[in-house]
Structure 1
Amino acid sequence: MSKVLYAAGTAEHIKNFHLPYIERLRKEGHEVVTMAKGDGVDIEVPFVKKMFSIKNLFLVLKVRKIMIREGFDTVILNTTLAAFIIRLALPRKKTTKVINFVHGYMFEPEPVGLKEKIFLFCEKLLSSKTDHIIVMNSDDYFIAKRYRLCLGEVRMTRGMGAKISDKPQILAESVFDLKQGIGKYVLCFVGELSELKNQKMLISAMPGIKAHIPNAVLWLVGDGKERRRLELYVRELNLSDSVLFMGKQNNPCDLIRACDIYLSASKKEGMPFNIIEALGCKKTVIASSVKGHKDIIEHGKSGFLFKKDNVGQLVDLIKLIYCGELTIDKGEAFSRYKDFSFDTVFDKTYNTVKELIEA
């Protein structure tokens, strides 16, 4: 069997999404070595989140030495940062097979702005070092094929598979008390506090929402570098009692279960686990009509979509749902969750990885 490098930007990413796949590969005889930033991996590499940081450029040399020393047969790449640095580190005449597991390209099919164009340029530059690509949504499949971002196959999957906890860690009484104490109509979003996740847009919608639903509150679950700016923005709008920063939660599904509507204003996604989990909790979901979301949400059936950054459209949807004029079939929502659940997708995704390793 082959020697496989399984790499990602952070150890947390590997822990959250890839351990069952790594365990299966090892069980079937492959030697799998993990690489990421953080504890719990075989090779720790201190990737810096800012992709073009000088520190990352120095890491290219370190990674190249590791690749030469270890002699991997196959490299499975996850996350934009790790995929960029590791492919850059590979020699031009490589013997290692490279599989890029794309969790969401950082650009649209028609790149908008300099930043997206740079990301596309980098993928084109490294396409000669990419043997195969695995994507998780139809837009990324189109991108990979259109721009010929690999030498071999582009495979479509439904991601790594989402799981929701069957055993809430917060007692139902505690959730009830929390909701009664801060407001009865709860809107919720789970994700890193970042420009990409676009929590600022959700905050900017709150004055319009509260004009129709005075007791509405927004729970922002997660943490990130944008937290301070978002907190200041909340104060500027005098919304401190209506927008609550819940921090990072070990089991965010507890809070999703407690909300009335689940929201996402993300600018782009790969395979948004938070949306899938909300569907699994049988919640009404309203999400921006962007790549990733569009593959999961069928407008009017499993949830609702609004045009990216259109605050008025989002407010109108929330108002209509609150008044009972718009509803979804909760069974349809849960059925959509099952389509993307771990139990449904694991074998297919694993077999895709295995076939490309052994091709």
Structure 2
Amino acid sequence: MIDLPAEPMLATPVETFALPLDWFAEPKWDGFRAFAARDAAGTTVLRSRTGSDLSPAFPEITEALQRLSCSVVFDGELVVWEESRLAFERLTQRLHRRGAAAQRAAAARPAHYVVFDLLHVDDQSLRQRPYVERRRELETLFRREGLGAPWTLCPSTGDAEVARGWLAWSVAGVEGCVFKNGGESYLPGARSWRKFRVRDTLEMIVGAVTGTPSRPASLLLGRLGSAGQLRYAGRTSALPGAQAQIMGGLLRTAEADHPWGGRSFSAGWGSQETLEVSLVVPGIVVEISADISRDARGRLRHPARFVRVRADMAVEDVPPFEAGRPAS
């Protein structure tokens, strides 16, 4: 019987990059968190952090688990690479595929499983062991089993300069770093780890708002495409009162010929909920801070933070919307 934690150990977001003494850093991957496990009888499990069974959608990972010679419980991240970049959208496209369709997807765009923790091996639980010991056992297992694709051993370092170098991997879809206390045991559900996300500072054009133009709750943002059309690029998180008041004094309700007239907007990436929005004249430029996560169309996957109004910039000064992601 496979003894999986009820939930994974989690991380608290931090605003500054800091690696304390006796802590370790790992890259933060843009994928799906999942437990991967095999018991001594060869039974396998691939389970998401919310409890969903991912095994039918990713047969290449299940088959790799079956080839192991020991019982294991891994904690890690499912990822898909496309053109040297992590392709989160390709991962989501595979979630509901089964049988022959899942096998075809695995052949066309195989998933990899990035292992960053070992919670059980050879019928022995490691959860109460400190991170440094679990890491040592994980590295030993990779060597002993000669593990290659679809397995990937997540890098780990206690050197802050090495970890800072990983932030440059953001161009490939690595989101930042996770910091882990080397002496801490594995605590399901606890937010004892820390995560630092790489963020971009971007200029965007305000095309619509939730709330009202005079009292906006959040801003819907865009950039001009190659043909000069305003393309939707994402939205901000909720505006604090002072920022909402500033924007309310600048925004004007749009006329009938707004480029976003008649379209609807999702409440979040992958959500079926539709936002209620008010269109505004797309003449105000704002600066935002956003993490690097983008969808296949280059739009922000997560709400951005409003930083300030760019009264010194005209709409034409904003960098264009490029294929893959908005330009910086």
Q: Is TM > 0.5 for Structure 1 vs Structure 2?
A: no
TM-score normalised according to structure 1 size: 0.28
Structure with more of its chain in helix, by fraction? 1
- RCO higher in structure (CA 8 A, sep ≥6): 2
The answer to which structure has the higher strand fraction is 2
TM-score, normalised relative to structure 2:
0.30
